[in-house]
Amino acid sequence: MADSKHFYLRNNQALMSSHRLSLKAKQSILLSKAENTIDAYESDWDDFVDWCTYNKVPYFPATPETIVNYINDLADYAKANTISRRISAISENFNASGTPTNPCMAPIVKQALRGIRRLKGTYQQGKTPILLDDLEDIFEYMDSIAMPEIQKLRDKAILLVGFMGAFRRSEISALTVSDITFSVQGMEIFVASSKADQEGQGAVVAIPFIENREFCAVRALKAWLKGSGIKEGPIFRGFTKNMGIRKSAISDKAIAEIVKKYAEAIGLDPAMYGAHSLRHGFATTAAAYGAEERNIMRQTRHHSVNMVRRYINEANKFVDNPVNTIFKKSR
């Protein structure tokens, strides 16, 4: 039997219910996939379950439309081969469940995959992280051009809160004044619905004051709230043509465009950057500075250590590079 999350690949329900195969034959087929392959499939299935829970849609059974929406969200930051692997894992699990229809086999899903590969070829590389040096360059650019002060306050707060809180773009967009609690240590931000929060209880992200005022997200957010006069409702909002502040929240896509705009302004390829670059950048930077896995996971709210280890490996790819080892010993 599968557990409540409906993962069937460890005990293939369709296979085990067959009356034409002997028990020995069934067991040999179950053993045809290596244990680490099953583990990888389970991790991919868990990500799909988390996404569905976060978006309040059923994951078992799932509709083809749910699969399409999932892979399009995934395309914001994942490599193309990661998306294909996730679909394979989800499809294999539905096959193993014995359900009569597999949503991954629907034509609309195959069309969506083709469209993603065609339109988002840059996702082969994933979204490049925004690092501290990049933020410094962006802030210098902001100070060097004629920009309305109110826009500068908002954009700087978005970039620093997004980075220091390791937020997803939807979480930045959804923040309201009531979600923020300031204290002498810094601020706590309540995330009403976290992707990794299957029970829907929400999560609290702490961001401390730091001595470097330029990079202090707490000061940046306070400056934006004071300058905008926002006392309730959405924190980050768009502007009218006359730079008045709208009542509605800025969209998550607009946040991605802000990141792209500033990336391009400092000479980076905007196609390689998006809102996820802030979250990715925080995790990579924290790993590079030697932060412990569990502390990074607490801030990013990843429930899988595998993703955090990927950031650590990415941060260390030059530090621990064997080329350095060779030439240090040869001197």
The single residue of 311, 317, 329, 331 carrying the catalytic annotation is 311
The Cα 97–Cα 190 span in angstroms is 37
Catalytic residue list contains 276: yes
Is 6 a catalytic site residue? no
CA 325, CA 331: separation in Å to the nearest integer?
10
Distance CA 295, CA 302 (A): 11
Residue 63's identity, in one-letter code, is T
Query: Is 10 annotated in the active site?
Result: no
Distance CA 113, CA 47 (A): 18
Question: Cα separation of 179 and 195, whole Å?
Answer: 17
Residue that the structure tokens 């650590």 belong to:
312
20 is catalytic: no
Angle, helices 276-288 vs 305-315, to 10°: value is 70
302 is an active site residue = yes
From residue 155, alpha-carbon distances to 149, 201, 212 in Å are: 10, 29, 18
Per-residue burial over 55-80, b = 16 or more CB atoms within 10 Å of its CB, e = otherwise:
eeeebbebebebbbbbbebbbbbbeb
Identify the active-site residue in 195, 237, 260, 301. 195
Q: Which of 171, 172, 157, 163 is nearest to 131 (CA)?
A: 163
Mapping DSSP onto H, E and C, the string for 6-44 reads: CCCCCCCHHHHCCCCCCHHHHHHHHCCCCHHHHHHHHHH
Which residue out of 86, 127, 279, 280 is catalytically annotated? 279
Long-range contacts of 196-201, Cβ-Cβ distance < 8 Å, separation of 24 or more:
196/50, 196/301, 196/302, 196/303, 197/53, 197/54, 197/301, 198/49, 198/50, 198/53, 200/53
Could you tell me if 54 and 193 are in contact, meaning their C-beta atoms sit under 8 angstroms apart? yes
- Select which of 127, 169, 260, 302 is catalytic: 302
Inter-axis angle of helices 64-74 and 35-54, nearest 10: 100
Which of 86, 154, 168, 280 is flagged as catalytic?
Answer: 168
| Cα end-to-end span (Å), the chain | 60
Catalytic residues: 168, 195, 276, 279, 302, 311
